[in-house]
Amino acid sequence: MEEKQDFIQNLSYDSVIFGFNGTQLKILILEYHNTGLFALPGGFVQMDENLEDAVKNGVRQRTGIQDIYLEQFYTFGGLKRSDPAAMDKILTQNNLDKEQYSWMMGRFISIGYYALINYEDVTPKPDELSDSINWYPIDELPKLMMDHEEMVERALRVLRHNLDRKLVGTNLLPHKFTMKQLQQVYEAVLGVGLRRTTFQRKMLSLDILVRHEKLFQGKAHKAPYLYSFK
């Protein structure tokens, strides 16, 4: 870890970082060094740091993206969520002094945030304890440690819920996009197929889109319009 750290004890955050590759909704999962343990990127909050800043900085470090869209989705406060055995394994495999890091073995209340980012802009970076950080489609996740699977479920539930109310598309798509791309985002998030004509009519009626020039993709059919959010 860096310089002097004065973390709030027994408190952490975990982040579900969503990206959209054009077809699938994916999240970033990291694998701890030599443990076979997969987890969500997370961290701790400094005594003199805003909670949201801590999360934002953590997500910045994992993604390389500066401008992060965050939504808090739930706080996990059960006693049973801690897993000292797994923590011990992580410390061991990283050759960390268990005395010094004994605070990591305790009970944590963890605040869950999800981030929406433009998949193309990301260059994932593992954290200090991890070997790798990779994109996984939300329906092909590895087994996650502790209650991180429940976290993903909850994050997804809240994301689905926010789909209409908070411009989810803005953050998962490039600035300009076709109606088909937008529909694919909705389908990936909701996990269901949508009717093309109904979707288009609905989106246009909401009066949240601006229509731009056409996108000629060199395909042998009519070119779609590009849109952006108002």
Partner DNA sequence: TATTATTGTAACAAAATGAGACAATAATTA
Partner DNA sequence: TAATTATTGTCTCATTTTGTTACAATAATA
Contact assessment for residue 152 and residue 114, using Cβ atoms and an 8 Å cutoff: no
Q: Is 79 in the site for a copy of itself (CB under 8 A)?
A: yes
Residue nearer to DNA on the CB measure, 1 or 223: 223
Q: Is 51 in the site for a copy of itself (CB under 8 A)?
A: yes
223 contacts: CB under 8 Å, gap ≥ 6 = 214, 215, 216, 217
> Which of a copy of itself, DNA, none sits in contact with 8, Cβ below 5 to 8 A by type?
a copy of itself
Segment interacting with DNA (CB under 7 A) among 70-78, 79-87, 150-158, 190-198: 190-198
Among 66, 95, 123, 198, binds DNA (CB under 7 A): 198
What's the sign of the alpha-carbon dihedral 67, 104, 128, 159? negative
Residue type, 105: M
Count of helices and strands (H, E) across the chain: 6, 10
> Which of a copy of itself, DNA, none sits in contact with 77, Cβ below 5 to 8 A by type?
a copy of itself
Please tell me the distance from the alpha carbon of residue 118 to that of residue 172, in angstroms, as a whole number. 5
Q: Where are the alpha helices (DSSP H) in 163-222?
A: 168-172, 179-190, 196-205
Q: Is 9 in the site for a copy of itself (CB under 8 A)?
A: yes
Among 123, 140, 197, 207, binds DNA (CB under 7 A): 197
SS3 state of residue 96: coil
Least distance to DNA, CB of residue 175, Å: 17
Tell me which residues touch a copy of itself (CB under 8 A).
8-11, 45, 47-52, 72, 74-75, 77-79, 106-107, 109, 111
